[in-house]
Structure 1
Amino acid sequence: MPAIVILGAQWGDEGKGKATDQLGTAARCVVKFNGGNNAGHTVVVDGEKFALHLLPSGILSPGCVPVIGNGVVVDLGVLFQEIAELESRGIDAARLRISANAHVITPFCKVLDALSERSLGPRKIGTTGRGIGPAYSDKASRLGIRIQDVFDRELLRERVSAAVEQKRALLESAGEEVDVEAVVAELSGYAERLRPMVADVGREVNAALDAGETVVFEGGQSTMLDIDHGTYPFVTSSNATAGGACTGTGVGPARIDRVVGIAKAYVTRVGEGPFPTELLDEAGERLRCNGGEFGTTTGRPRRCGWFDVPVARYATRVNGLTDLVLTKLDVLGGFAEIPVCVAYEIDGVRVDEVPVTQAEFARAKPVYELFPGWDEDVSSCRGFRDLPVEAQDYVSTLEGLSGCPISLIGVGPGRDQTIVRRSLLP
């Protein structure tokens, strides 16, 4: 049985939660490998909507073990709030497993996040303000607090003191003060609830693969927000591409069987940064309203634009995608024509791939080809041939131009609103 990586192939919010949830019904484990509660996945089960932020989507499948890997940063308050909300709706969260090596988002990480955005002014990144970046920064500086540290109060005090001392001048200059003992008391207060969930995640996930079980690796954010391969500096603070599934869980790359990229039938982005196909007109507002394009985590309206083929090709190459899942095809119903960005024009020159430099990408203007739209509501379609011929042609065109087979097509938010062209499972 396979190890399957699921990740975003654009700028996030592509519908990874739904795809992961669908595979989670057949998986032994769903493992979140990066990010934190800055991501938001919306899943609809039997007409009931669930908004997940920190917890893996597999939490909604009773036979699946949801796992938080070492590459994730964890806000313990958010974790237990999300668990409580799910349990109040009848979802069993006791089977959750958390890596002892995952890092903790401390209260002062959130303070520093706000200070950083404020200091950048017009050059701000557009973060969610959840403390994600400072937590990863502490991790890289070897000043981070890990899940395992929460169980040793003296060690925790030592780690918190060292992290705060390193930041004291910055905090004081902004009029902020951190009470080390209060932070220690808050974090250690979660210890007993955490203890049954903490595990050697790498060993357990590898054991599941050794036993022939299916394991799904769930990525937060997306390819174009990856710290190394995204539109830096307007990116997240972790590796959201396929390599992050290995470093974020302790599973070797040779064990990965399939890498599935999720892409909308159009494109959205939240926060700052280049976005060549962005629409600042009635069409963009129509996509936003029809698609419900408001952040699951922040509620911020998403920037909307037409499908970007160079970005799709880039995601296919960087991740080694074996499959694409095209979501929200239903949102395009009613458009007489649908433009698709097939290349860019940069300083008067046509460029067919994502530019090497961010300065060039910021100047990129889309080169469009127009495709006929359709009026029919496709939300009840369950077979590819059930789609209007124009929608079939649109999907086939994106598949050919992106260089990756489109295996699943989403035609609505529900679990059952999916057209399967090629199963992701054997």
Structure 2
Amino acid sequence: MTCTIIVGGQWGDEGKGKIVSYLCEKDNPSIIARGGVGPNAGHTVEVGDKKYGIRMVPTGFPNVNAKLAIGAGVLTDPEVLEKELEMLKDFNVAQRIILDSNSGVIELKHREMDKSNVHLSKEIGSTGTGCGPANVDRAMRTLKQAKDVESLQKYLGDVSKEVNTAIENNENVLIEGTQGALLSLFHGSYPYVTSKDTNASSFAADVGVGPTKIDEVIVVFKSYPTRVGEGPFPSEMTEEEAETLGVIEYGTVTGRRRRVGHFDYELAKKVCDLNGATQIALTCLDKYDTECYGMKKYEDLSDKSKEFIKIMEQKLGVKVTLISTGPELSQTIDIRNK
């Protein structure tokens, strides 16, 4: 049994949602806990022929046997949370969710401040969800907590206690982080970053787990990095080149077109070091090489893809154990135990 943290290895949008969904189905964790900033990160989860865009609920919600937790370090927008609980009622999410009593609460004033601040909205490219201003209030000790909001009372609990109890009982625990490591307030391309750290150690702290209890850190890299909004992007390609490769994407929260680049080994090595990565999950390999679409066995991959993976492992010093070759969960190559 293991406690595993999932981390985005670039600027977000790496396909963490699919990797989390796959692990939830394959490893059947007893609790799926969310760390990260708050509702400023969107994830798209596909269940059958339906797509769900979520910002608060852990993306592992399709596993109806697992408890779903939102850690104390995560900001909560009550309106967004309630909408998602209603949207996901067929999955019984409202009965399984545990919102930490100490989670900070985003209010209307935070969203308005976020959108009206020219530096944040225009220059930095904030999502306008109120996370930055709310984290300012949290640092000033003036922010409301979930336990102060009447409508949230029925969801409250002690996430740290729940997670640590599961670990002590030798159950599988999955901690899913949001955004990407390169958007970290401390280690990213400041000032074009989010309002807190977005690496494994912070995600563990968000849900109240000590570092010695973490068994695996899986960093998720997309075969071609993407970025929404402003900020440095060393390996960025032109929109025309991206279109030629068939890579046209839009952000889940903002709807803005994503900037696209070539895989950056130097930045990827930095991310692996920052997170103490024990495994790499590689997504969108089918976009890097269309011949690999839907492949389910490593030996069936093209020589081009195998060489890409080999170079990645050599330069980053971490084994690639999960490979996504399409949007469906079945289109995943799992070589964790090989």
One fold, TM greater than 0.5?
Answer: yes
Which residue is equivalent to 2:55? 53
Q: Which amino acid aligns with 1:421?
A: I
* Contact in 2 for aligned 1:24/1:57 (Cα 8 Å): no
1:268 equivalent to 2:226? Answer yes
TM-score normalised by L of structure 1? 0.76
> Could you list the per-position Cα deviations for residues 68-120 of structure 1 after superposition, in whole angstroms to 9, with x for gaps in the alignment?
00011011001001111112xx221121110000000010001110122x256
Which residue is equivalent to 1:22? 22
Which residue is equivalent to 2:299? 385
1:138 equivalent to 2:137? Answer yes
1:98-247 equivalent positions in 2, closer than 5 A: 98-116=99-117, 118-119=118-119, 124-151=123-150, 190=151, 194-247=152-205
> Could you list the per-position Cα deviations for residues 173-194 of structure 1 after superposition, in whole angstroms to 9, with x for gaps in the alignment?
xxxxxxxxxxxxxxxxx2xxx2
* CA shift in 2, pair 1:235/1:120, >3 Å: closer
Which residue is equivalent to 1:12? 12
Structure 2 CA distance for aligned equivalents of residues 7 and 249 of structure 1: 14
Structure 2 CA distance for aligned equivalents of residues 52 and 80 of structure 1: 11
Which residue is equivalent to 1:330? 286
Structure 2 CA distance for aligned equivalents of residues 314 and 48 of structure 1: 36
Q: Which amino acid aligns with 2:61?
A: I
Structure 1 CA distance for aligned equivalents of residues 51 and 121 of structure 2: 36
1:415 equivalent to 2:329? Answer yes
* CA shift in 2, pair 1:286/1:104, >3 Å: farther
Local SS of the residue matching 1:58: coil
Q: Which amino acid aligns with 2:144?
A: I
4+ residue segments displaced more than 6 Å: none
Local SS of the residue matching 1:57: coil
Identity of aligned residues (%): 38
* Contact in 2 for aligned 1:43/1:413 (Cα 8 Å): no
Which residue is equivalent to 2:311? 397
Local SS of the residue matching 1:227: coil
* Contact in 2 for aligned 1:278/1:284 (Cα 8 Å): no
1:421 deviation in Å?
1.8
Structure 1 CA distance for aligned equivalents of residues 241 and 321 of structure 2: 28
1:35 deviation in Å?
1.5
Q: Gapped runs of 5+ residues in structure 1?
A: 152-189, 335-375
Q: Which amino acid aligns with 2:259?
A: R
TM-score normalised by L of structure 2? 0.95
Structure 1 CA distance for aligned equivalents of residues 105 and 36 of structure 2: 13
* Contact in 1 for aligned 2:289/2:304 (Cα 8 Å): no
Structure 1 CA distance for aligned equivalents of residues 244 and 148 of structure 2: 48
Local SS of the residue matching 1:60: coil
Which residue, out of 221, 235, 255, partners 1:299? 255
Structure 2 CA distance for aligned equivalents of residues 283 and 45 of structure 1: 32
> Could you list the per-position Cα deviations for residues 263-294 of structure 1 after superposition, in whole angstroms to 9, with x for gaps in the alignment?
0011101111100111114222345xx34511
* Contact in 2 for aligned 1:55/1:68 (Cα 8 Å): yes
Q: Gapped runs of 5+ residues in structure 2?
A: none
**Across the two proteins, how many residue pairs are aligned to each other?**
335
Q: Which has the larger radius of gyration?
A: 1
